[in-house]
Amino acid sequence: MNAIIRPMFVCFVALSVLTGIAYPLAVTGIARVTFPWQAGGSLIRQGDTVVGSALIGQNFSEPRYFWGRPSATGPFPYNAAASGGSNQGPLNPALAAAVKARIESLEAADPANTQPVPVDLVTASGSGVDPDISLAGARYQASRVARLRGLKPEQVNALIDGLAEGRTFGFLGEPRVNVLKLNLALDGMTG
């Protein structure tokens, strides 16, 4: 039996030290030297205060801001310490009700807008902290944001196009725009 017990402990301890301590510390060390900003969370600073992360969305509900994806995290939306989706099934009546309510609030904030609503604006993201919306989702909201901020729609659309990200290598991912960056830029414009 000792032929099994002894190698069991020795191999387990040796491999645990290697993969559970040496390896994560090595990655941390390399990351700190090569990509310190990313390793720390891609945080956006304004002066001394951290106003968010380029990768983590924030909740926006005021009509003068672009709104992001609906978030299903609890107890409040865009909780970046308790991530997750709604996990509602496609036929769950609660899902249809939630989508209906989201369409109504989009239309209430911009009654003149008669375009169909892009699906990503009314469906909850998988992470609950999705930083992006589709270009269609941003353009749908451009007229509202422009009106409430006294800007020309072309100015707002130019801002969207300036911050838009396309498909990587032409085929990976989806065209999109980061909502926090967009709103910070808006606040910068109107001062």
- Taking the complex as a whole, how short is the minimal distance between the CB of residue 162 and another protein, in angstroms? 15
Distance CA 65, CA 47 (A): 22
- Taking the complex as a whole, how short is the minimal distance between the CB of residue 150 and another protein, in angstroms? 19
Length of the chain: 191
CA dihedral of 151, 130, 51, 140, whole degrees rounded to 10: 0
6 binds another protein (CB under 8 A): yes
CB of 68 closer than 8 Å to CB of 57: yes
122 binds another protein (CB under 8 A): yes
77 binds another protein (CB under 8 A): yes
185 binds another protein (CB under 8 A): no
Sequence-ordered list of residues with C-beta below 8 angstroms from that of 148, at least 6 positions apart, any chain: 63, 64
Neighbours of 76 (CB within 10 A): 9
* Count of residues that bind another protein according to CB under 8 A: 108
Quick note: the x/- pattern for another protein over 132-171, rule CB under 8 A, is: xxxxxx-x---------------------------xxx-x
Residues 18-47 that bind another protein (CB under 8 A): 18-21, 23-24, 26-28, 30-32, 34-35, 38-43
119 binds another protein (CB under 8 A): yes
Its sign, for the CA torsion 7, 12, 15, 18, is: negative
Instruction: Name which of 76 and 150 has its Cβ closer to another protein.
Output: 76
CB of 164 closer than 8 Å to CB of 176: yes
Instruction: Name which of 99 and 146 has its Cβ closer to another protein.
Output: 99
CB of 160 closer than 8 Å to CB of 139: yes
Instruction: Name which of 155 and 157 has its Cβ closer to another protein.
Output: 157
Neighbours of 176 (CB within 10 A): 21
Tell me the window of 59-67, 142-150, 151-159 that interacts with another protein (CB under 8 A). Answer: 59-67
- Pair of tokens at residue 35: 């990509």
- Which of 110, 123, 146, 156 forms a contact with another protein (CB under 8 A)? 123
